[in-house]
Amino acid sequence: SKSYSMENPSLIHRKIVVCGKVQGVWLRKSAREKALEFNVNGWVCNRPDGSVYLEAVGLPQQVEQLHQWCHLGSPQAKVTEVRSESGLLKGFKGFEIRY
């Protein structure tokens, strides 16, 4: 998997919160597969409030693809809301599921 140089000015970092029936429905695993498919680095985790949280770094088009996918989620998920905001660029290698 690619690791990006932080000198690349076109990279963006988004913090994404996915709400709804999104835990226990393979959302994190599916998000990781999609992130790798779209060449997005970062991580994903379940939050205590029942939402799923992602940090995503990549080229704008690739991060946007992952963001759009979050509105669908995994087949068993029922997404009710997706919120996102820009973050400060960080260097992530690959895309990991955090527990």
Active-site annotation holds for 46: yes
**DSSP letters spanning 31-99:** HHHHHHHTT-EEEEEE-TTS-EEEEEEE-HHHHHHHHHHHTT-STT-EEEEEEEEE------BSEEEE-
Catalytic-labelled residue, pool 14, 28, 32, 41? 28
Catalytic-labelled residue, pool 14, 39, 41, 46? 46
Kindly report whether the global pTM for this prediction surpasses the value 0.85: yes
Is residue 6's pLDDT more than 60?
Answer: no
Is residue 7's pLDDT more than 80?
Answer: no
Q: Average pLDDT of 63-76?
A: 97
Active-site annotation holds for 28: yes
